[in-house]
């Protein structure tokens, strides 16, 4: 080695330059990736919005500009959940807000799409919800991207970049939902209601009740057991009010078993259509209905049994896949056997088919 001080300084400067350039390149790569994702999210949002406008146009008498304005209002609706500083009674407050929103949005959709039937109103409401979620996701990601650029924050950019694959999964799921809601096709989440509808037919349900809005109850006596089967009322897209239906049943019967059937999110690597069993109430969402069902079951010491049909988030929101359909068909027999095994003759069982019943009457 015969280097001089000058050589040493030059080498160090070159090394520092490379370190700096490497970081700059990494940031540029992350930024271009975020911008690519953002462009796709925007495209998805715009396409979904156009679908909503077209659907409304086919069912409305309003002019184009008013339809666009009303559709924009529909996708900008915000739900403000109650203050949780004092969580006592928060579930009832949330329920009140959710019910109010549900009724008001449906009323708004009915007033825009005057030619729509009840089923079409439900499907349109679902479609507006999916577009709203897409719009919200795009806006949030765009907000963080702009903030990161504004403050030239490397860490914000890298965090956002790391999150994008998960967000894009959600966007993909919502895109699938838009396609399904547009045509009123059953989605993967309809597996629960489908199991109930098929089981009710297989067992030859004798009676049908509709004591609660958007919810139906089938009743049959099988081998000395009283079986109530509850699902949202289709074929319009709704999840019904299974908690209220269950309360209606327990006020009349001494229930000794509660089985819930629902689509459950699978982990990456798990097979779609895997059926697993569990204890508790199989139900997603905000948790208001599940809380109330758990409360009823705990008050009356009703054993809770769950049958889960595994699928990805995308499969749950998109048009039902063949694998999910086959799994749901298999689950019908499983649920029947569970009820016959765990419910003694002379007692009563309730089966809840949880999920959006679009396409399943």
Residues engaged in binding other proteins (CB under 8 A): 36, 40, 43-44, 47, 168-169, 171-172, 175, 183-186, 194, 197, 201, 234-235, 268-269, 271-272, 318-325, 329, 359-361
Order of all β-strands in the sheet with 215-222: 207-209, 215-222, 225-232, 348-353, 255-265, 304-311, 275-279
340 burial class (0-12, 13-18, 19+ CB within 10 angstroms)? middle
Angle (CA) 80-85-90 rounded to 5° is 60
Q: What is the CA radius of gyration of the chain?
A: 26
Smallest separation (angstroms) from other proteins to the CB of 90: 35
Size of the chain in residues = 361
Smallest separation (angstroms) from other proteins to the CB of 254: 32
Q: Which helix (H) or strand (E) holds 19?
A: helix 5-59
Smallest separation (angstroms) from other proteins to the CB of 318: 8
Which sign does the torsion angle of CA 259, 353, 317, 295 carry? negative
Question: Please, are residues 109 and 125 in contact by the beta-carbon 8 Å criterion?
Answer: yes
CA dihedral 170, 173, 175, 181 (to 10 degrees): -130
CA-closest candidate to residue 294, choices 265, 264, 261, 260? 260
User: 248 or 314: whose CB is closer to other proteins?
Assistant: 314
Smallest separation (angstroms) from other proteins to the CB of 257: 26
Distance in angstroms (rounded) separating the CA atoms of residues 95 and 174: 24
User: 236 or 296: whose CB is closer to other proteins?
Assistant: 236
Smallest separation (angstroms) from other proteins to the CB of 109: 20
Distance in angstroms (rounded) separating the CA atoms of residues 102 and 245: 18
CB count in 10 Å sphere of residue 51: 17
User: 87 or 361: whose CB is closer to other proteins?
Assistant: 361
Smallest separation (angstroms) from other proteins to the CB of 286: 25
List the structure tokens of 187.
Answer: 């989605």
Smallest separation (angstroms) from other proteins to the CB of 315: 9
Distance in angstroms (rounded) separating the CA atoms of residues 264 and 247: 24
Question: Please, are residues 200 and 218 in contact by the beta-carbon 8 Å criterion?
Answer: yes
Smallest separation (angstroms) from other proteins to the CB of 237: 12
């Amino acid at each position: 080695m015969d280097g001089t001080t000058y050589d040493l300084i030059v080498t160090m400067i070159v090394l520092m330059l490379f370190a700096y350039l490497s970081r700059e390149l990494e940031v540029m790569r992350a930024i271009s990736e975020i911008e690519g994702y953002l462009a796709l999210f925007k495209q998805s949002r715009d396409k979904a919005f156009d679908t909503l406008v077209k659907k409304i146009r086919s069912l409305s008498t309003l002019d184009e500009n008013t339809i666009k304005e009303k559709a924009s209002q529909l996708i900008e609706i915000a739900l403000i959940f109650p203050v949780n500083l004092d969580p006592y009674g928060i579930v009832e407050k949330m329920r009140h807000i959710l019910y109010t929103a549900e009724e008001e949005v449906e009323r708004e959709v009915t007033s825009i799409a005057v030619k729509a039937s009840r089923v079409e109103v439900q499907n349109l409401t679902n479609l507006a919800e999916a577009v709203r979620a897409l719009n919200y996701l795009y806006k949030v990601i765009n907000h963080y991207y702009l903030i990161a650029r504004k403050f030239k924050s490397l860490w914000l950019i890298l965090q956002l970049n790391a999150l994008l694959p998960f967000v894009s999964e959600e966007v993909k799921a919502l895109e699938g939902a838009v396609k399904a809601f547009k045509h009123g096709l059953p989605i993967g989440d309809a597996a629960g209601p489908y199991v109930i509808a098929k089981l009710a037919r297989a067992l030859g349900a004798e009676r049908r009740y509709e004591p609660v809005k958007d919810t139906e109850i089938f009743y049959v006596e099988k081998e000395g057991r009283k079986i109530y089967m509850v699902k949202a009322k289709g074929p319009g897209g709704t999840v019904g009010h299974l908690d209220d239906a269950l309360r209606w049943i327990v006020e009349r019967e001494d229930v000794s078993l509660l089985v819930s059937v629902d689509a459950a999110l699978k982990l990456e690597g798990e097979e779609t259509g895997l059926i697993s069993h569990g204890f508790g109430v199989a139900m997603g969402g905000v948790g208001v209905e599940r809380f109330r069902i758990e409360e009823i079951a705990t008050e009356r010491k009703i054993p809770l049994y769950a049958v889960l049909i595994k699928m990805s988030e995308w499969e749950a929101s998109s048009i039902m896949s063949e694998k999910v359909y086959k799994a749901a068909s298999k689950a019908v027999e499983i649920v029947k056997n569970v009820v016959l095994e765990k419910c003694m003759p002379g007692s009563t069982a309730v089966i809840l088919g949880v999920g959006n019943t679009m396409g399943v009457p």
